[in-house]
Amino acid sequence: MEKENRLFDKALSLLPKVKETFVCPSEDQKYSTPLKKGDHVEIDFGKHLVGRLKIKFGYKNSHPDAPVWLKISFAENHKEFEEKVEDYNGWICSAWVQQEQMHFDLIPAEYTLPRRYSFRYVRIEVLDISSKFDLIIEDAKAIAVSSADGSRLVSYDNTDEELVNIDRIACATLHDCMQEVFEDGPKRDRRLWMGDLRLQALANYETYQMNDMVKGCLYLFAALPMPNGQVGACLFLEPKPEVDDTSMFDYSLLFVAALWDYYKQTKDIEALRELWDTAKTQISLAMKQVDSDGTVKDSDKLGWCFLDWSLELNKQAGAQGVLLYAMKSAIAIAHELGKERDADCISQTYELYKSAAIRHFYNEEKGLFLSGKSKQISYASQVWLILGGAVSQEEGLKILHNVAEYEDAIDMVTPYMHHYYIEALISCGAMDEALDVMRKYWGGMAKLGADTFWELYNPKNPDESPYGGTIVNSYCHAWSCAPAYFLRKYF
């Protein structure tokens, strides 16, 4: 506990302060029209932002003799106004819908709404008002919040306007997810998720370079483990920092990869030493999920392993790949710290698990990895076993080409999985193919008018939601900021 308290105190000392900036709506908007009962106006701030709304009310005709009852809705994507919260029946709590009914007792007056929202658009509807006066919105501002320091943003120069635009949107996505910690989505969850953090940190190294913030988040995960020492899938920050009761096989292992990424970027040997025990524990706990044949347990016994938003995706082969991927980072860390005994032990086990992956999952006839009892073929299985080093660079590229030709393969759903797909292509030397994926996938969101990149995007069905309604979809999501990393580092 003493060690964890020390790590916790250090984590808090490293986290940044959130800054406030006033943002005015786009010009030439007519939101000052006198409003009666049943009327509404929309305000467009011209870009995605996170923060509070400050609004000044006036009136026309007689002095106000009653409160004004308003419905105020906030939207990241304008299509959110097309859905009614009353019609939403999904499994994510509808309390996330950014919609308020509020009474304003004194008019004229200026109010700052107390809650934080993630939005570009604001819709104000008059539910009821005295017949003696009309409401006028005299002024509206957003108090935008982020810890990202814009003066530190590394520029991205390219003559290709499409790539410059994709990068700009990716940086905006990261910017609005950078609050006290790297939030996964400023609209919904507003937490520090391990899987998102790993990708945000990579993008941060190439953009805002607020590396102490990454370090603080890693220390928080180490300081607030689950009872068995496992890194939790996510942490709450308020009312006090606390680990969630959710664990994911892959997210816990990504702590190891994220720590190695951080060290490669900063050469912070002190952090590597202080967080090594946490990293090693994740490997040890994951090894307990490996059967005697050297393979990770099948999905029905493994517990939650995320990989992607897909209920039909079998996770066994992908989980094996994530374990191998994390073990490679653990071996590198152990060598860097001079812990050769640990490095040798993990290396020997890595080789056993790698051989088991080929023996149990690889199908020579199809040239693909098959997962689970159903012998399922998916992009996730191929990508993670390639990244885990189960095959050579040349073999990996053949596998990626084979899965692209296999019509029944379980496809990728999220920008999160697409990030690792691009990483796999790059690791196999397929730079042009990786860039083409980025153009088609993230460029597809850009062409649909995205201000920031989304939690989920299916090019075949842009309105898809894993939750049962797009009204709770997150249209600014941390795991979508990949282009800011890839474009600067490789293109």
User: pLDDT-based confidence at 451, cuts 50/70/90?
Assistant: very high
Do residues 236 and 292 lie in contact, with contact meaning Cβ atoms separated by under 8 Å? no
Q: Is the pLDDT of residue 1 over 60?
A: no
* Tens-digit pLDDT profile for residues 76-114: 999 999 999 999 999 999 999 999 999 999 999 999 999
Do residues 473 and 465 lie in contact, with contact meaning Cβ atoms separated by under 8 Å? yes
- Give the H or E element holding residue 444: helix 431-447
Classified as helix, coil or strand, 490 is helix
Task: Enter the pTM of the model.
Answer: 0.96
**CA atoms within a 13 Å half-sphere pointing along the CA-CB vector of 238:** 7
CA distance 34 to 312: 52
Do residues 415 and 423 lie in contact, with contact meaning Cβ atoms separated by under 8 Å? no
User: pLDDT-based confidence at 30, cuts 50/70/90?
Assistant: confident
Residue 278 to residues 265, 305, 447, Cα–Cα distance (Å): 20, 19, 42
pLDDT averaged over the chain? 96
Strand partners for 74: 122
User: pLDDT-based confidence at 466, cuts 50/70/90?
Assistant: confident
pLDDT, position 430: 98
The percent of residues in the chain predicted with pLDDT above 70, rounded, is 99
Report the b/e string of 48-63 with b at 16+ CB within 10 A.
Answer: bbbbbbebebbbeeee
With a CB cutoff of 8 Å and minimum separation 6, the contacts of 316 are 295, 296, 297, 298, 299, 302, 361, 371, 372
User: pLDDT-based confidence at 165, cuts 50/70/90?
Assistant: very high
User: pLDDT-based confidence at 32, cuts 50/70/90?
Assistant: confident
Crossing angle of the two packed helices 211-223 and 194-206, in degrees rounded to 10 = 160
- Give the H or E element holding residue 445: helix 431-447
Q: What is the mean pLDDT of residues 244-269?
A: 98
User: pLDDT-based confidence at 43, cuts 50/70/90?
Assistant: very high
CA distance 445 to 437: 12
Crossing angle of the two packed helices 393-405 and 379-387, in degrees rounded to 10 = 170
Do residues 302 and 289 lie in contact, with contact meaning Cβ atoms separated by under 8 Å? yes
pLDDT, position 418: 98
The percent of residues in the chain predicted with pLDDT above 90, rounded, is 95
**The token pair that represents 20 in the structure block:** 């406030």
Locate all alpha helices (DSSP H) within 289-392, ordered by sequence. 299-302, 316-336, 340-361, 379-387
Q: What is the mean pLDDT of residues 218-222?
A: 98
CA distance 80 to 99: 11
User: pLDDT-based confidence at 3, cuts 50/70/90?
Assistant: low
Q: What is the mean pLDDT of residues 449-476?
A: 94
User: pLDDT-based confidence at 2, cuts 50/70/90?
Assistant: low
CA distance 307 to 309: 7
pLDDT, position 186: 97
CA distance 282 to 47: 40
Residue 254 to residues 22, 193, 290, 325, 391, Cα–Cα distance (Å): 37, 11, 17, 9, 20
Q: Which domains does the chain have, with CATH numbers?
A: 21-146 (2.60.120.260), 150-490 (1.50.10.10)
* Tens-digit pLDDT profile for residues 357-402: 999 999 999 999 999 999 999 999 999 999 999 999 999 999 999 9
